Amino acid sequence: MFIEELTGGITSFADIFFISMISTEAAASVGMLSPVLFLGYFILPQFTSAGTSVAAQYMGAKRDESVVPAWAANILISTSIGLVLALGLFAASHAVGLALGMTQIQNAYASQYLSVIVFNFILVGIRFSYCSILASKGLTRWNMVASIVTNVVNIPLNWALMTGFWIFPELGISGVALATVISYFIGFAIVFYLVHFRLKVNFLVKGLMARIKEVILPILKIGIPSALEPFSYTVQNLIVSVIIIKLGTVAMAANTFANKFLFLDMATSWSLTMGGQILISHYLGAGRIDDVKKCWNQIAATISLCAFAIILVIVIFNRQFLSLFTTDPEIIGVTFWLLLIMLAMEPIRSINILGGIVLKTVGDGKFSVILSLVFMWGLVPVIILSSVVGFGIVGVWACLLLDETIRACVNLWRWKSNRWVGKIVINKAKD
């Protein structure tokens, strides 16, 4: 799972790396689209992880007749959401940058990338759903293989489609986005083959639709709260993007380049959290509450330590890492201060990720959603005020650190209170 998450982050990292070869402003402009891309890359996986959790809980409860319907429902829900997102954002791709406050030139860069990359959301929905089947069976190494192949294809294809190398057309920024879509499709083809031809999973069975209707409710009970929190986070980040864009190209570039290194830390946090979610779901379905708590404690300690260690290395060798994107001393100077904030924020964020995901998994999602909505929206006026009084991008990031810290503390308190015990979602599903 770690390698799968890591290679997924490398895809996004590679896109900005190649676009930075065109110009720093182009890379900064595309990088500021991150909150928009979160709609597909961040929210969609919440639904697929919900399906993974529900299927794993059915396995733990020995209710095997509901496992395949849970997988099929997961594919149906996630692919439908991906399609709606792709079509909606494609229609608005020419205006998104302007709505965020970009100049005409910056918007042109952003539009070239967005109008192509949005179709990847369809693949993200269906591919992650298929990956969740492999993950719920403990076959995460196959997902890893698909992710590695995706990157092996993506990196040279980025170069070829951007520059017009050999037989490929020269498409510039659009070519970088197209390379990502093609590589994701190849990765999906691999997991599709593995699920249907190696695992022999068959969705063409009598009565499947009736069973799907029965398992949709448990998936939505986890998936909707899981999606609402990152949706609020996305809206918050859209507001942050508007503020940072107003601060100019240096702030945009610093924000983009600092965030691109997050994949190293996030790969660790998300892979351990997702792996823990599967284990916890099995334990929960079997009624093994003590094992649930033990698993949570082990993961929490590991991810916070790893997050600190990874960001510390990046801070120490910041000039070497940042030279991959730019040699501008002003951008490097501002980015360094953002990396220092990351050193404090990422261990806290990792705990927040774990707390939020696991609370939803055990059926206590309402609390996590309300908490997130209150603090994410409550922080928006503070972020705006920090920009008005002239604190700049460092002040904005300090506000984000405050947000993560408060939410992580409350999530920790909720978990330690044991109020989530007895809220398992599949108890309310029909046999």
Using a pLDDT cut of 90, give the percent of the chain over it: 37
Q: For residues 292 and 359, give the distance between their C-alpha atoms in angstroms, rounded to a whole number.
A: 11
Which position has the token pair 């702030």?
251
Place of tokens 């961040």: 42
Backbone angles phi, psi at 164, to 5 degrees: 80, 30
DSSP-assigned letters across all residues of 403-420: HHHHHHHHHHHHHHHTTT
Q: Is the per-residue pLDDT at 136 higher than 80?
A: no
Which residue matches tokens 């909606």?
A: 88
- Look at the alpha carbons of 361, 373, 89, 10 in this order and tell me if their dihedral is positive or negative: negative
Instruction: Tell me the domain boundaries of the chain.
Output: 2-428
SS3 143: helix
Q: Terminus-to-terminus CA distance in the chain, angstroms? A: 31
pLDDT score at 171: 95
Q: What is the mean pLDDT of residues 148-168?
A: 92
pLDDT of residue 412: 85
Q: Is the pLDDT of residue 393 over 50?
A: yes
Selected residue with higher pLDDT from 409 and 336: 336
Q: How far is CA 238 from CA 103, 107, 146, 233, 362, in A?
A: 16, 15, 31, 9, 30
The two tokens of residue 241 are 């993007």
Side-chain-side CA neighbours of 39 within 13 Å: the count stands at: 21
Distances (CA, A) of 361 to 26, 214, 303, 356, 421: 40, 18, 18, 9, 11
Give the predicted TM-score (pTM) of the model: 0.79
